[in-house]
Amino acid sequence: MSQSKPKIVIIADFSWSYFLQGAKGRGGGQANPWLIQLAEEFVEYSDEFEFHWIILDRSMQWGEEESKNWGKQYFHRLSRGKIMVDLLLGYRPSRSRLLKKIKTIKPAIVHCWGTERPFPIVFNDMTVPTILSMQGVLTAYKEIDALPPGLCWKIITAFEPGFIRSADIVTAESEWGVNQVKKIAPDAKTYQVEYGVHRGFYDVDYKPNNDQPYALFVGTLDKRKGLDVLIRAMAGLEGCGWTLRVVGDGGLKELVLNCGLSNVEFMGQLDWEALQKELSQARCLVLPTRADTSPNVVKEARVIGLPVITTKHGGQSGYVLNGVNGLIVDPLNSAGLAKCLCCVMEDPTYAKKLGAANHEKDRAYFLPVNTAKGFVNIYKSLIQ
């Protein structure tokens, strides 16, 4: 009799729309798009493991449930009630729904993604190994006063230390992320597993538009991403002969729309196809972040071959090297950011040189197959 495959439960914000629309990215309504490429890569390991993805969906009526088989993996969508009610009840409604489903699957490992959601609330009820993969590190964002406003996020952030301590293993996608976890829980068993870039970005070539040159910002429009500093920098560069295109949505959207600067264009949210076009034609990516585990768009830019202007405050400082494949603004201020932008935007030859440096190395590093291998190795070590 053949031995059954170990079952891996993955609880994450996987976008159900993927099954209808394919990979569209955040601007296509798919949050946490790094999960899409991971699911695609896990297809290659479906003979070794039985993967069960569990998703909590607020759009469903309470009590509803739906399951789908894709890529030899199982996806289960469960209803989730109102977030504030769930929070005020200590995530008990979500815990009950998740535990009921986990009980029917009988997994060998439970792997939860992110502290922004209630998923790790199940860890204390588990008798099998548990893994928590960090997405953001909310405690670090709180320290720089860069959390989204409102009581909801304050409560969510308060759960994070307990979630981290309750996991058997914690993964983060960068050394910066690992270090932030260690600040919260020094004894946490941590691994670095870089979250890869969707293979669709590997087919995009860097062909900057030198007739109408522009720098590109992509991300949540908030203080954490340093958008306020970037707009101040652009205010001092009126008449520079190039523009900044801003892609995304968030609390500082009105700052962009009302800045009154002729050298700033607001693009809104873009799906991956439109974003790839913008990235391919930009002279550089600029992301003056104050805190980031490892920004997805920086990885995507490096896969395509753009030079990146960013800061040391995040995982990107591990692969964006000052003067090599990008520029690091340190300390972060509008004058220093403006100077770095001018260095790249006023010299297309220099921009091309920066973009080409370490390009093949970066492309190899961000292959999504590496992410899948990293987690499979952890799974195997826990099951042995």
In angstroms, the CA 356 to CA 374 distance is 27
- On whether the CB atoms of residues 199 and 369 are closer than 8 A, the answer is no
What per-residue confidence (pLDDT) applies to 2?
A: 43
- On whether the CB atoms of residues 310 and 328 are closer than 8 A, the answer is yes
7: which strand partners? 50
Count the neighbouring beta carbons within 10 Å of the beta carbon of residue 357. 17
- On whether the CB atoms of residues 151 and 108 are closer than 8 A, the answer is no
| Successive 10-residue mean pLDDT values, the chain, 384 residues | 81 96 93 95 97 95 93 96 94 97 98 97 98 97 93 96 98 97 98 97 97 97 97 96 97 96 97 97 98 96 98 97 98 98 98 98 98 98 91
Domains, the chain: 7-196+367-383 (3.40.50.2000), 199-365 (3.40.50.2000)
Residue 171 has, within 13 A of its CA and on its CB side, a CA count of: 20
Nearest to 8 by CA among 41, 33, 57, 42: 42
What per-residue confidence (pLDDT) applies to 1?
A: 33
In angstroms, the CA 379 to CA 376 distance is 5
What per-residue confidence (pLDDT) applies to 3?
A: 63
Q: 126-129: which pairs have CB atoms within 8 A and are 24 or more residues apart? A: 126/102, 129/168, 129/169, 129/382, 129/383
- On whether the CB atoms of residues 269 and 27 are closer than 8 A, the answer is yes
Return the beta strands (E) in 202-252 as ranges.
214-218, 243-247
* Helices and strands (H and E) in the chain: how many: 15, 14
In angstroms, the CA 384 to CA 380 distance is 6
- On whether the CB atoms of residues 13 and 113 are closer than 8 A, the answer is yes
Q: 333-336: which pairs have CB atoms within 8 A and are 24 or more residues apart? A: 333/229, 334/229, 334/230, 334/232, 334/233, 334/235, 334/236, 335/233, 335/236
11: which strand partners? 54, 112
What per-residue confidence (pLDDT) applies to 384?
A: 75
Residue type, 339: K
DSSP code string of 4-62: PPPEEEEE----TTHHHH----GGGT-SSTHHHHHHHHHGGGTTT-EEEEEEEETTSPT
